[in-house]
Structure 1
Amino acid sequence: MIIRQAFFEGTIKPGQDDAFRAYVAEKLMPMWLAFPGVKEVRVLYNIERDEGAPSYAMALSTMYEDQAALAAALESPVRYESREMTKGLLEMFDGHIHHHVFDMGPSS
């Protein structure tokens, strides 16, 4: 399995926590779930971290069967629609987003 994660490094603007989460749930999650080939979508919100660790307000994790499925999802129209929709979320966020792709490896 291939896992693609988006790390929202930074902070949600003061007083915007509820609006940020609602925007993700109502506008973005339905789009992410519609990516072709997606097996799982998880959204994780930070509640605590080690002292001195960078701040990640949110992490998005999506799972695909293989790299070909991920590539197809990244080229899909819904992915481009979600990128446009994400601009509204970024108005409530101070920071930047970076993506990482992992090979999940065999389960034990």
Structure 2
Amino acid sequence: MIVRTAFFEGVVRPGNEAAFESLLEDTLIPLWRQFPGAEDVSVLRPAVMDDGAPTYALVLATRYPDLATMDRALSSDIREATREPSNILKSLFDGRVFHITFNGDDLLAKAG
């Protein structure tokens, strides 16, 4: 299993919260759920943070069965359809967005 994440490190610009939420809920989340081969799409928001932890507006986590499936999704028309709304979302946000792809093989389950 592979989990591709997008970290939105920073904050939504004051006064843009409603537009940010609307764009997520009405446009981007429905598109993200259409990525071919995606087994799960989660939008994570901080509930509790350690003192001194960086601030994240959200983390997007998309699970794929393998890297080849993820690569096909990232080459899909759906990905292209997310570009413009993603750029608008970033314009409502102060910070940076970066991606990390994790190997999600569950070592705890294998050890148990």
Size of the alignment, in residue pairs? Answer: 108
For 2:55, the equivalent position in structure 1 comes to: 55
The normalised TM-score by structure 2 is 0.89
How do 1:1-108 and structure 2 match up within 5 A?
Answer: 1-106=1-106, 108=109
How many angstroms apart in 2 are the aligned matches of 1:95 and 1:85? 17
Give TM-score, length-normalised by structure 1: 0.92
Percent identity (aligned): 41
**Rg comparison, structure with higher value:** 2
Aligned equivalents of 1:17 and 1:99: distance in 2? 22
1:73 CA drift (Å): 0.4
Looking at structure 1, the residues matched to 48 and 83 of structure 2 have their Cα atoms a distance apart, in angstroms, of 27
1:40 and 1:51 map into 2 onto residues whose CA distance is 30
Displacement over 3 Å in runs of 4+: none
Q: Give the root-mean-square deviation of aligned CA atoms.
A: 1.3
SS of residue in 2 equivalent to 1:4? strand
* One-letter code aligned to 2:5: Q
CA distance in 1 between partners of 2:21 and 2:62 (Å): 18
Give ranges in structure 2 of 5+ residues lacking alignment: none
